[in-house]
A and B are shown apart, each in its own frame.
Chain A
């Protein structure tokens, strides 16, 4: 059995499928428009994308520590690690907002060209998943803080952690695909 609640895995697979189809569509559109994609890509802020990659990987590490903590019955420590992960999620969102703000200020929209259509939809779609992940982690944190989990019963922590790792993993694919690979 996978860690966490089985239902979250159905959800994770469905999410991966949605992003997967989007990634394939991106590849398909790029193959028909290589020059446009390469040209537009040069205007993206790789630095902010790279920093955000580190931010999310760090947050995933915090979540791992939270799961390890609850397995030893340390509820408060578990809650603190999750709070740290949520904090990293917040940093990710802030950096992303600056990046998107710059793009919108430059007059870029979904209708600018096919590349920007994918860039904006994929990053905003992922952005919304980060928010959902933070909501799930917050619920887990609150329950952990009030002693709702134990070394024996901590499915909820693993459920939240699984979802968060998925959000992280999607960014690890999205960042090189959209920002880096020429």
Chain B
């Protein structure tokens, strides 16, 4: 750690991992409810478990992004953070707001929560992924603005690098596009249309810039390759991301009542969305092969390479699979979507966060890397989580193909629930893979505390 104020990143990373554990636990609950429908009913109904699972994913990702911002911006700008105190205050506000929201989801029925939190003043709730009560949404905006204020001023007073500019662009975009979550027109087509401006333009737009900047930062640190080389790649990648991703929003507009030309725009542009992910993979391997130093943190290198590969497979390949309108006509909203969602989110965003935490956390604890044996443990956690996620994806893909075949094709299609009975085997297998994933996550956390024999590698 080169600057004292980078230390504020630590609580953010710890909270992120804590919430990640919560996300996986609720994932396991839901996965089990897929096969044993009344598990934990009525305490935790499926729809609530799903809401908690997806909302925790978003919140822990935001925590990790903010932690990454607080960690890398001072180092890139070569100056202390503008206000470490503000960062700590915002951390507690965000953590308390997030915890209260989850408690609200679990403790009272959703309609009651809506009434209690002023949804009748400005109705924003009840929409997938944007279920948060109004005060939480306002809280997210305040925390995001304070965070952006803090890191933007840090960059302004210090060195301006491509990595911090791309990161700032991504984070400002994140804040701006979140504002569409407050816009809730009564026309359902318009509602869906602008709902995607938050959801799609986050994960297939500005978040990719954040991902690119975080990956580039870690690669510069662990490979020692010239900044100019890495920055050029970063620019080409983000240009491709924006060119394909923005109009690629159209792949969500096929069947919501938007004009027909979106079937062409959405298909053509989103078919190209794998390109920036592919370039990111090539970029990561290329940089590691051209490395000019042997960084002692081998585990972080593995995570960085894994991010490239898994984001390309999950977001790129599994996204392309059902992005063309004539294909999506059959696959829309089936388990194919769930398969893509799992591998893409893990491969791109969970993994880049784990990369960053794997690199930064030892530094924040005053060493350049954890001990060899702790890293071996962490690499086990990498393989357990990654391989089990591949299996989750494959099982859900199999379930999806079968579902489409039985429910949407042929002359005598089955009903939704009858089809679910037919794919039950794959749901069981998915749940087992989920348990292995959880073991991997526990190992990841344990690796940070593992002390046996040898010492950690000094800074």
Contacts and interface: CB of A to CB of B under 8 A. Distances in A.
Given A110-B259, A111-B259, A14 B272 contact: yes
B261 A7 contact: no
A40 interface: no
Most buried by B among A7, A18, A22, A121: A18
A21 interface: yes
Contact of B261 (A5, A17, A22, A117): A117
Contacts of A5: 232
B405 interface: no
Contacts of B269: 18
A11 B239 contact: yes
B345 interface: no
A110 B240 CA distance: 25
Contacts of A17: 272, 275
Given A7-B235, A11-B236, A11-B239, A18 B264 contact: no
B387 interface: no
Contacts of A22: 268
B259 A14 contact: no
Nearest to B272: A18
- SS of B interface (majority): helix
Contacts of A11: 236, 239-240
A25 interface: yes
A110 B239 CA distance: 26
Interface string B234-267: 0110011001100000000000000111001101
A117 B275 contact: no
Contacts of A111: 259-261
Interface string B204-235: 00000000000000000000000000001101
B240 A21 contact: no
A18 B259 contact: no
24 contacts: A5-B232, A7-B235, A7-B236, A10-B279, A11-B239, A11-B240, A14-B272, A14-B275, A17-B272, A17-B275, A18-B243, A18-B244, A18-B272, A21-B268, A21-B271, A29-B264, A110-B261, A111-B260, A117-B260, A117-B261, A118-B264, A121-B261, A121-B264, A121-B265
Interface of A: 5, 7, 10-11, 14, 17-18, 21-22, 25, 29, 110-111, 117-118, 121
Given A14-B272, A22-B268, 15 more contacts: A5-B232, A7-B232, A7-B235, A10-B236, A10-B279, A14-B243, A17-B272, A17-B275, A18-B243, A18-B244, A29-B264, A111-B261, A117-B261, A118-B264, A121-B264
